[in-house]
Amino acid sequence: MRIGFIGLGNMGAPMAANLAKAGHAVIGFDMAEVSVDGVTMAGSATECAAGAEVVITMLPNGAILRSVAADIIPEMTKGATLVDCSTVDVDSARAVATDAESAGLLAVDAPVSGGVGGASAGTLTFMAGGSEAAFAKAAPLFEIMGQKAVHCGEAGAGQAAKICNNMILGVTMIATCEAFALADKLGLDRQKMFDVVSTSSGYSWTMNAYCPAPGVGPQSPADNGYQPGFAADLMLKDLRLSQQAAESADADTPMGQLAQALYAQFVENEDGKGRDFSAMLPRFENRGRES
């Protein structure tokens, strides 16, 4: 299959490389000068998209997605499929899908979970929105780039699933970090707390699989000086998307709203930028009730 891949950053590059390794003819484009194993580089996004059976985008935000889509949709062959793997706002995902379908294309919004490690290993999870026909066209590529793809519904449903999931993740991580900081001040050993909570009603992914306390539970970024597995900056981006969607849908999400405010303070006014999102734990350790 001839595949155009636009956006070859930390996530896009290994995804495109895995498609090339599987035998597909991958034409890539990025604003930066990059080189990806097995990928032929194009001089522009439109050149990348022209003649491709599938065009995959992995871009930073909805505004850039809309701009790129406006450029490439007129150049794509009717019947081709546009697969956006960026994490963007639901409204942008739906607007791009509408424009693509109006031009005779199939469209899928398919944000991913699994991070750079999952992109390299080909173990990502895709949350997809779009028609059955569009999902069926993209599914074989999802199998190469990931280990699981869920068709969540019509256009925008993939983005909705991603931001709802990550709103839970952000809120839960804050609660987990708060609890460890409280345990410290109460004189409760962190390992003992983990042993209780990880097998009790406080069980969560942030406790059991991604524990924010160094030396407790399975290996996590906390054991590597909070070097990011999932950066606090990206968590803030996703929480902002969740609250943008909540406002658009008139949904009451007070915990999501507070999580966004806390991560904004952590990233923009404290030392959270460039650190893992679990570095909220040392933040809470160093704060008292009124600070």
* Of residues 85, 86, 135, 128, the one with CA closest to residue 106: 135
End-to-end CA distance of the chain: 57
Q: How far apart are CA 155 and CA 100, in angstroms?
A: 11
Distance in angstroms (rounded) separating the CA atoms of residues 50 and 271: 44
Task: Say if strands 25-29 and 106-109 run parallel, antiparallel, or are unpaired.
Answer: unpaired
Q: Which of 148, 162, 185, 192 is catalytic?
A: 162
**137 assigned to active site:** no
For residues 157 and 281, give the distance between their C-alpha atoms in angstroms, rounded to a whole number.
32
Distance CA 217, CA 197 (A): 11
- Six-digit token string for 58: 């992995």
CB 59 within 8 A of CB 88: yes
* Residues known to be catalytic: 162
